[in-house]
């Protein structure tokens, strides 16, 4: 093999026009045609789209630029470098929901599982019907989804990379007559390392770090890292720029910066986009309300057979059979340190459980939530999230956990660990009825999520939403949103492709305006 072929091409991507804000020696000022706040899926897509239109684009990212070659298999290193708050963010409520998002160039696309599913047609129909948003019907969105899939390089996982745990999940579901879908993921010739959540060192995941960000930079966009935007600047009733701080590696404030442009696009995620708007005293009634969270409940199956869950691709399949009812079930392995957090016990008890790591299958059910949450500014002026599960959400969690456990028993599990403090485990399929009969105690459920949305939602009516059908903030020319904040409701599937398709659509419409 030649020396050139020893590393995949993603290892030698050039990143021109990048300024490391942490190294700034003084306060800074920037000028552009378009400012994009955030470099995740929404931000990177918007930046590349406007750069393609010939606009001078400035991307402001709070995190650092970590190259593909620097990605590690060590969760602690990844949590420190790539995750906001080192992965310790929390959505308050009963129960509290652990939330993780990226804080690095490429945003959450660097640490997600790479799942790429179109917004379900029934959700788009709801957006066009109930929310009266034009041009969002499946036929209208077709070309945007097609373009998104091209950028994301969506493909199916090669069968030789499926791990034993994935095959067992498939077997278990099939025994119950539930045929899972092969996952559609944004990857190019994935070799099945399953390091997606810690950054892909093989370069296979086609995150924004290796796709839209370098493309935007090649087209002349500038990127400033370590740039924390605090608020939007206004003049004569329109947005004219942003201001904030250049921060150090530990996010300590170092210098101030101000950036000016006729168009500001916020793509800082469904927590920080409304946070910036709230600090900027933009106060539409719906701002920060209608937060949706896709709560996930984890289930762990213990098998006699050795599965080696660390060998094989990340989440090769998803069960979509119950999607219309609001449930998605999938299996994906996690490193020992991450699994350890969710296993009960301390000391010897915990050690005895963890000894079985190589015999465990981890799966989760995702709930298309109907409860609502809120993003508010805390005393520290940072956005804090709260969420209240609806009665339907709680029922769906119990039903989803029971179905996930049923798949595991059908696949041969001898024990299944549950996310309920008042029913931590069951030992046979005969005990599944105990889950259905379980007292509904939301505080006793352990939930996590990596998808939040809806906190600056699109609506035709300014009284009911924050942005209009083009993603522009109602009543404020020059200010737009391009992340999952603008979803009018929960999408029920991994949101990456929905974010990208809407960003492509809205960049086109805003560019014409």
Query: Which residues have a catalytic role annotated?
Result: 451
Position 438 contacts other proteins (CB under 8 A): no
CB of 194 to other proteins, least distance (A): 8
Position 325 contacts other proteins (CB under 8 A): no
CB of 185 to other proteins, least distance (A): 15
Residue 20: name the closest of 77, 60, 72, 71 by CA.
60
Position 285 contacts other proteins (CB under 8 A): no
Position 431 contacts other proteins (CB under 8 A): no
> What gap in Å lies between CA 212 and CA 466, rounded to an integer?
27
Position 335 contacts other proteins (CB under 8 A): yes
Span interacting with other proteins, options 144-152, 207-215, 344-352, 498-506, rule CB under 8 A: 344-352
| SS3 assignment, position 249 | coil
Task: Quote the tokens at residue 347.
Answer: 């000391």
CB of 87 to other proteins, least distance (A): 9
Identified binder of other proteins from the candidate list 135, 336, 428, 461, rule CB under 8 A: 336
Identified binder of other proteins from the candidate list 13, 19, 28, 80, rule CB under 8 A: 80
Residue 44: name the closest of 63, 27, 21, 29 by CA.
63
DSSP state of 472: B
Q: Which residues pair with 82 in a beta bridge?
A: none
Alpha-carbon torsion angle 395, 397, 402, 407, nearest 10: 140
CB of 372 to other proteins, least distance (A): 23
> What gap in Å lies between CA 294 and CA 498, rounded to an integer?
14
Span interacting with other proteins, options 43-51, 80-88, 143-151, 475-483, rule CB under 8 A: 80-88
Position 443 contacts other proteins (CB under 8 A): yes
Cβ proximity to other proteins: between 354 and 432 the closer is 354
Position 348 contacts other proteins (CB under 8 A): yes
Position 75 contacts other proteins (CB under 8 A): yes
> What gap in Å lies between CA 482 and CA 215, rounded to an integer?
18
CB of 14 to other proteins, least distance (A): 18
Position 171 contacts other proteins (CB under 8 A): no
Span interacting with other proteins, options 21-29, 120-128, 279-287, 332-340, rule CB under 8 A: 332-340
Q: How far is CA 396 from CA 186, 399, 403, in A?
A: 28, 5, 10
Residue 495: name the closest of 435, 442, 454 by CA.
454
Do the beta carbons of residue 176 and residue 406 sit within 8 Å?
Answer: yes
CB of 195 to other proteins, least distance (A): 6
- In the region spanning residues 92 to 111, those forming contacts with other proteins, defined by CB under 8 A, are 96
Positive/negative CA dihedral, 252, 256, 257, 263: positive
**Number of residues engaging other proteins in binding (CB under 8 A):** 56
Identified binder of other proteins from the candidate list 121, 146, 341, 433, rule CB under 8 A: 341
Task: Quote the tokens at residue 51.
Answer: 């750069």
Position 86 contacts other proteins (CB under 8 A): yes
- In the region spanning residues 243 to 282, those forming contacts with other proteins, defined by CB under 8 A, are 250-251
Position 202 contacts other proteins (CB under 8 A): yes
Position 73 contacts other proteins (CB under 8 A): yes
**What residues contact 186, with CB distance under 8 A and at least 6 apart?**
109, 114, 116, 152, 153, 154, 205, 206, 207, 496
Identified binder of other proteins from the candidate list 203, 326, 465, 471, rule CB under 8 A: 203
CB of 500 to other proteins, least distance (A): 24
> What gap in Å lies between CA 503 and CA 148, rounded to an integer?
10
Site string for other proteins, 353-392 (x = CB under 8 A): -xx-xx-------------------x-x-x----------
DSSP state of 19: E
> What gap in Å lies between CA 489 and CA 290, rounded to an integer?
8
Measure the CA angle with vertex 256, ends 66 and 85; round to 5°. Answer: 45
Identified binder of other proteins from the candidate list 34, 44, 204, 389, rule CB under 8 A: 204
Residue 9: name the closest of 167, 153, 169, 184 by CA.
153
Position 191 contacts other proteins (CB under 8 A): yes
Position 512 contacts other proteins (CB under 8 A): no
CB of 425 to other proteins, least distance (A): 15
| Residue spans of alpha helices (H) in 95-137 | 121-129
Position 193 contacts other proteins (CB under 8 A): yes
Task: Count helices and strands (H / E) in the chain.
Answer: 12, 24
Task: Quote the tokens at residue 446.
Answer: 């352990």
Q: How far is CA 426 from CA 38, 85, 372, 499, in A?
A: 44, 34, 31, 38
Identified binder of other proteins from the candidate list 29, 31, 88, 325, rule CB under 8 A: 88
CB of 17 to other proteins, least distance (A): 27
Identified binder of other proteins from the candidate list 340, 377, 394, 429, rule CB under 8 A: 340
DSSP state of 310: T
> What gap in Å lies between CA 36 and CA 43, rounded to an integer?
6
Helix (H) or strand (E) holding 278: helix 269-279
Count the alpha carbons within 13 Å of 120 in the hemisphere toward its beta carbon. Answer: 19
CB of 63 to other proteins, least distance (A): 11
Site string for other proteins, 23-62 (x = CB under 8 A): ----------------------------------------
Q: Which residues bind other proteins (CB under 8 A)?
A: 1-2, 5-9, 73-76, 79-80, 85-86, 88-89, 96, 188-193, 195, 201-204, 250-251, 310-311, 335-341, 346-348, 350-352, 354-355, 357-358, 378, 380, 382, 421, 443-444
């Amino acid at each position: 093999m030649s020396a050139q072929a020893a590393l995949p091409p993603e290892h030698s991507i050039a990143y021109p026009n990048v300024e490391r804000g942490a190294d700034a020696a003084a306060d800074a000022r920037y000028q552009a045609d378009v400012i994009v706040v955030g470099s995740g899926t929404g931000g990177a897509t918007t930046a590349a789209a406007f750069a393609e239109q010939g606009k001078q684009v400035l991307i402001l990212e709070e995190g650092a630029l970590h190259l593909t070659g620097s990605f590690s298999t060590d969760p602690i290193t990844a949590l420190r470098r790539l995750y906001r708050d080192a992965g310790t963010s929390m959505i308050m409520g009963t129960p509290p929901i652990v939330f993780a998002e990226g804080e690095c160039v490429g945003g959450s696309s660097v640490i997600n599982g790479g799942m790429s599913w179109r917004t379900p047609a029934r959700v788009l129909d709801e957006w066009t019907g109930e929310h009266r948003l034009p041009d969002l019907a499946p036929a209208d969105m077709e070309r945007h989804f097609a373009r998104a899939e091209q950028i994301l390089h969506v493909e199916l996982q090669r069968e030789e990379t499926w791990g034993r745990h994935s095959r067992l999940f498939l077997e278990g579901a099939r025994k119950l007559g539930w045929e899972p879908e092969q996952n559609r993921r944004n990857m190019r010739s994935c070799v099945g390392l399953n390091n997606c959540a810690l950054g892909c060192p093989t370069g296979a995941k086609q995150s924004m770090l290796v796709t839209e960000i370098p493309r935007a930079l090649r087209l002349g966009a500038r990127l400033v890292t370590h740039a924390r935007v605090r608020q939007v600047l206004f003049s004569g009733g329109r947005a004219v720029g942003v201001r904030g701080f250049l921060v150090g590696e530990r996010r300590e404030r170092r210098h101030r910066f101000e950036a000016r442009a006729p168009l500001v696009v916020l793509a800082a995620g469904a927590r920080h986009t409304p946070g910036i708007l709230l600090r900027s005293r933009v106060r539409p009634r719906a701002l920060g309300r209608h937060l949706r969270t896709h709560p996930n409940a984890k289930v762990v199956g213990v098998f006699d057979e050795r599965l080696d869950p660390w060998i094989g691709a990340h989440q090769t399949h998803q069960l979509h059979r119950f999607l219309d009812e609001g449930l998605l079930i999938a299996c994906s392995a996690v490193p020992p340190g991450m699994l350890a957090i969710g296993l009960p016990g301390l000391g010897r008890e915990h050690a005895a459980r963890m000894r079985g790591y190589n015999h465990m299958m981890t799966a989760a059910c995702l709930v298309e939530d109907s409860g609502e949450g809120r993003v508010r500014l805390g005393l520290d002026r940072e956005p804090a999230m709260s969420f209240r599960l609806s009665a339907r959400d709680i029922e769906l969690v119990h039903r989803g956990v029971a179905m996930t456990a049923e798949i595991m028993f059908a696949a041969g599990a001898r024990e299944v660990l549950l996310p309920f403090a008042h029913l931590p485990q069951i030992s046979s399929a005969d005990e599944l009825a105990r889950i259905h009969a379980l007292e509904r105690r939301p505080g006793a459920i352990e939930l996590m999520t990596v998808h939040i949305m809806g906190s600056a939602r699109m609506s035709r009516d300014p009284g009911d939403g924050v942005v209009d059908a083009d993603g522009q903030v109602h009543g404020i020319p020059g200010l737009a949103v391009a992340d999952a904040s603008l979803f009018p409701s929960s999408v029920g599937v991994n949101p990456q492709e929905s974010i990208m398709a809407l960003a492509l659509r809205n960049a086109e419409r805003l560019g014409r305006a």
